[in-house]
């Protein structure tokens, strides 16, 4: 039977086990700002590494980039963000709270009244100033998306890598948006991390290429362990598309608060390079050296949120089951994503020989696996603690280990236990994680 997951359970577990903390908590916290704890940062790093392996290292037609967060202000005028990156906001006249107009029906979500002010446009970019004087000449913005850093480097990448169409440029990085209605834990925040590819292709191939990326990105979430029944594709209607887009499809996940976007895969046509070419005065056309033709490529953009994906993996991995009279909570992460792969546990922490052997074993294993040592509770409680953070295997060193040089290896998902010779332990684990 599927576990019923609610966000209260997820938020509680994330804080209790060191996945995610409220930012600046000792000062009362900062709304919609979150810090990733010791386990959360490992999980998030694994998500990014798995994505990078899939879209960069696993292909021969995509290269990486790490562009600056701060960019020339003209970048945002060319992209349309300065004028058009807005939300329409309304205020409830009764409770005085402010909402995005497209996030309410007829009634105020807070007080239930129906009397609102007229809608007003609000720019979502976070403004700052560079240099010693704060005036219009020193205005800069924290980037609201990572894509523009890729577009303005198009010529640099083509000239240095000699890539031919079709090819892509991938980037993982922080973006910032002054969201008025953030919420749902880490799902919608003002500071967030994106992982996206800008894939450049011949215009006549763009439609087929778009579908290929939709299929590939949907399947990646399945490969990383998301249950198929919790994923769906939603094609944007014409009224949702940006004016320059030829199509967009979202990969959506069934969160406890409803179906919501994990990643959008858009056909951006040739809008971006054309705009930056016009505003910069630089020629950003692609030169086909075989036909001697010059043109603006079409761009297919798979753009996902690292924080949203990480949250989805936590929610989807969460599982409860009854073991005798107790509820066992386990995070069933995939082998690629589990923040801790192996925990080494001494059966008796007061036995110095067992502790010494266990610590030596942990030291050896951590050369190849993310590995922890814990002797702060009885063995049963240690097992439950590791289950709750998704540790794949627990290795227990006991009195018998001192005699026969074998340890007990316990599987997270089945709770089955095997005695494995210490000299073969690393090989055993390598086979398990590669399978």
Domains and CATH numbers, the chain: 7-69+145-314 (3.30.930.10), 340-434 (3.40.50.800)
- The mean of the pLDDT values for the chain is 92
360 vs 106: which has the higher pLDDT: 360
Lowest pLDDT segment from 61-75, 103-117, 217-231, 403-417: 103-117
Q: What is the pLDDT of residue 249?
A: 97
pLDDT, tens only, 38-61: 999 999 999 999 999 999 999 999
Q: Would you say residue 338 has pLDDT above 90?
A: yes
181 vs 134: which has the higher pLDDT: 134
| Share above pLDDT 70 across residues of the chain, in percent, rounded to a whole number | 97
- Mean per-residue pLDDT for 229-250? 93
Are 409 and 425 spatial neighbours (Cβ–Cβ below 8 Å)? yes
Q: What is the pLDDT of residue 116?
A: 84
Non-local CB neighbours of 303 within 8 Å, separated by 6+ positions: 145, 147, 194, 195, 196, 197, 263, 264, 265, 266
- Mean per-residue pLDDT for 221-225? 96
Task: Tell me how far CA of residue 238 lies from CA of 79, 123, 243, 267, in angstroms.
Answer: 21, 24, 9, 13
Non-local CB neighbours of 14 within 8 Å, separated by 6+ positions: 20, 37, 40, 185, 314
Question: What are the beta bridge partners of residue 291?
Answer: none
Q: Would you say residue 2 has pLDDT above 80?
A: no
pLDDT, tens only, 366-387: 999 999 999 999 999 999 999 9
CA distance 409 to 431: 14
173 vs 139: which has the higher pLDDT: 173
- Mean per-residue pLDDT for 145-152? 95
Q: What is the pLDDT of residue 84?
A: 67
Q: Would you say residue 226 has pLDDT above 60?
A: yes
Lowest pLDDT segment from 101-115, 367-381, 400-414: 101-115
């Amino acid at each position: 039977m599927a576990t019923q997951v609610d966000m209260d359970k997820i938020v509680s577990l994330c804080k209790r086990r060191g996945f995610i903390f409220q930012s600046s908590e000792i000062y009362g916290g900062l709304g919609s700002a979150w810090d990733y704890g010791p386990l959360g940062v490992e999980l998030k790093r694994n998500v990014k590494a798995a994505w990078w392996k899939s879209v960069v290292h696993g292909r021969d037609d995509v290269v990486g980039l790490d562009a600056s967060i701060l960019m020339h202000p003209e970048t945002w005028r060319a992209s349309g963000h300065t004028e058009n990156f807005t939300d329409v906001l309304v205020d409830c006249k009764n409770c005085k709270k402010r909402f995005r107009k497209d996030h309410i029906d007829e009634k105020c979500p807070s007080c239930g009244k129906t009397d609102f002010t007229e809608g007003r446009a609000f720019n979502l970019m976070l403004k700052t100033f560079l240099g010693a004087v704060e005036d219009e000449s020193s205005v800069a913005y924290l980037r609201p998306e990572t894509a523009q850093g890729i577009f303005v480097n198009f010529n640099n990448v083509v000239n240095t890598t000699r890539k031919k169409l079709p090819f892509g440029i991938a980037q993982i990085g922080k973006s910032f948006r002054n969201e008025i209605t953030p919420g749902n834990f880490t799902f919608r925040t003002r500071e967030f991390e994106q992982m996206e590819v800008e894939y450049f292709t011949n215009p006549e191939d763009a439609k087929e290429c778009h579908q290929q990326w939709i299929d590939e990105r949907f399947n990646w979430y399945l490969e990383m362990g998301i249950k198929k029944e919790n994923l769906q594709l939603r094609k944007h209607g014409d009224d949702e598309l940006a004016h320059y887009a030829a199509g967009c499809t979202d990969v959506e996940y069934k969160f406890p608060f409803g179906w919501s976007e994990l990643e959008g895969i858009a056909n951006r046509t040739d809008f971006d390079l054309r705009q930056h070419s016009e505003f910069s005065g630089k020629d950003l056309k692609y030169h086909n050296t075989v036909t001697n033709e010059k043109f603006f490529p079409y761009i297919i953009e798979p753009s996902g949120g690292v924080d949203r994906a990480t949250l989805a993996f936590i929610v989807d991995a969460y599982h409860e089951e009854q073991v005798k009279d107790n509820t066992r909570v386990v995070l069933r992460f995939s082998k690629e994503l589990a923040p801790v792969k192996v925990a080494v546990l001494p059966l008796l922490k007061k036995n110095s020989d067992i502790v010494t052997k266990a610590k030596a074993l942990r030291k050896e294993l951590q050369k190849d696996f993310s590995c922890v040592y814990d002797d702060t509770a009885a063995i049963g409680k240690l097992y439950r603690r590791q289950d709750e953070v998704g540790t794949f295997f627990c290795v227990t060193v006991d009195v018998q280990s001192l005699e026969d040089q074998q340890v007990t290896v316990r599987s997270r998902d089945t709770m089955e236990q095997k005695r494995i010779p210490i000299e073969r332990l690393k090989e055993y684990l390598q086979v398990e994680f590669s399978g």
